[in-house]
Amino acid sequence: MEVLTAIPPDYPIDLSNQKDVMLAVLEAGRRRSPVNYFTIILTESKEFEVLVKKIEFPPGTAVAVSIGTASLDGKNFPHPDQFKPDRDNLMSCTLNFNSVGLKPTGSGTRQCPGRNIAMKCCSDLLIAYRKEKGENAA
């Protein structure tokens, strides 16, 4: 994850507040997704709109989901190019960990097994870097 370059250096983060740090890391990942896509195999027929035409795909079809494109969808994330870790839906709509949101429910709840390790490593890296650079502006 580009946690050191995707977060504006002048963006104030309270480095003593783990939630603030985590939200900054999540927003960095939303803007520059560390994983491009994930795939699923359809268990039942599913209709998708491709360009402007609806096409039905049969069970067994492998489908790729573009995380980067979904994370920059203005319908879900207004002003998607802006760094805004205070987005109301950041924790519920993020796709960075092969699931929708940080606490997925229902079908499709499988998430990246390295999620917690990645979040901890990136948070620790961000805190250490900001302290070293004297960028703890919050």
Range of the domain at 110: 18-133
- Domain assignment present for residue 108? The answer is yes
- The model's pLDDT over 10-34, given as tens digits with 9 standing for 90+, comes to 999 999 999 999 999 999 988 888 7
Answering whether pTM is above 0.85, one says no
Distance CA 85, CA 7 (A): 10
- The model's pLDDT over 69-123, given as tens digits with 9 standing for 90+, comes to 888 889 989 999 999 999 998 888 877 765 565 554 544 556 677 777 888 999 9
10 Å CB burial of residue 26 (0-12, 13-18, 19+) is buried
- Domain assignment present for residue 124? The answer is yes
Q: Which residue has the tokens 């989901």?
A: 65
- Domain assignment present for residue 11? The answer is no
- 1 confidence band (pLDDT: 50, 70, 90): low
Number of domains in the chain: 1
- Domain assignment present for residue 12? The answer is no
- Domain assignment present for residue 53? The answer is yes
- Domain assignment present for residue 10? The answer is no
- Domain assignment present for residue 80? The answer is yes
